[in-house]
């Protein structure tokens, strides 16, 4: 057991746009909480047609969604309106309180809700603390604020240890 294991995601994937959401639905998931920046769009970018279509497809499959972001409402609300999703802003990730609030907002349970994001120390750690299944994504765009760039250096050994553990399973 690694010292990092409480920071390991349940899955590590390339992009939200290549995930098999039909399979997650088949597995029993009904709620998905999403980070926005570098998960759905590059940092600070508005919603895209690709993001809007993704959320339309998720609704058609039967998923309930909620954006959960540490950003302020002027960043989160327009994005949420465009993709027609519930949202929690100023979430104080990795505190578990607003992960659980988001689950309550969409009317699902912790056991059938997953979280998708691009950062270990906020997204994955908070999701794990809340008891949610977590999917870590590679960031969409490497151009980020300095504090995030610094966190990425700290994430590298954790991701490497996680990948080593996953390769041993195979």
Q: What is the pLDDT of residues 66-99, one digit of tens each?
A: 999 999 999 999 999 999 999 999 999 999 999 9
Q: Give the pLDDT score at 3.
A: 66
Q: Give the pLDDT score at 146.
A: 62
Q: Using CA atoms, how far apart are residues 81 and 117, in angstroms rounded to an integer?
A: 19
What is the chain's percent helix, strand, coil content, to nearest 5? 50, 15, 35
CATH number assigned to the domain covering 5-169: 3.40.50.1000
* Per-residue pLDDT in tens (0 to 9) along the chain, 170 residues: 566 778 999 999 999 999 999 999 999 999 999 999 999 999 899 999 999 999 999 999 999 999 999 999 999 999 999 999 999 999 999 999 999 999 999 999 999 999 999 999 999 999 999 999 999 999 887 666 666 667 777 788 788 888 888 888 77
| Exposed/middle/buried for residue 157 (C-beta within 10 Å: 0-12, 13-18, 19+) | exposed
């Amino acid at each position: 057991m690694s010292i990092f294991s409480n920071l390991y995601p349940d899955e590590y994937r390339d992009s939200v746009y290549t995930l098999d959401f039909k399979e997650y639905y088949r597995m029993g998931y009904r709620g998905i909480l999403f980070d926005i920046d570098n998960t759905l769009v590059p940092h600070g970018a508005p919603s895209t047609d690709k993001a809007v279509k993704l959320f339309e497809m998720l609704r058609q499959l039967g998923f309930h969604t909620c954006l959960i972001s540490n950003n302020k409402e002027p960043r989160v609300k327009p994005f949420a309106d465009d993709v027609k999703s519930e949202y929690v802003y100023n979430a104080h990730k990795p505190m578990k309180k607003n992960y659980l609030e988001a689950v309550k907002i969409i009317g699902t349970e912790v056991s059938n809700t997953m979280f998708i994001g691009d950062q270990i120390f906020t997204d994955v750690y908070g999701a794990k603390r809340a008891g949610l299944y977590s999917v870590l994504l590679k960031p969409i765009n490497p151009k980020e604020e300095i504090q995030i760039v610094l966190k990425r250096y700290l994430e590298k050994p954790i991701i490497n240890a996680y990948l080593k553990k996953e390769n041993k399973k195979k």
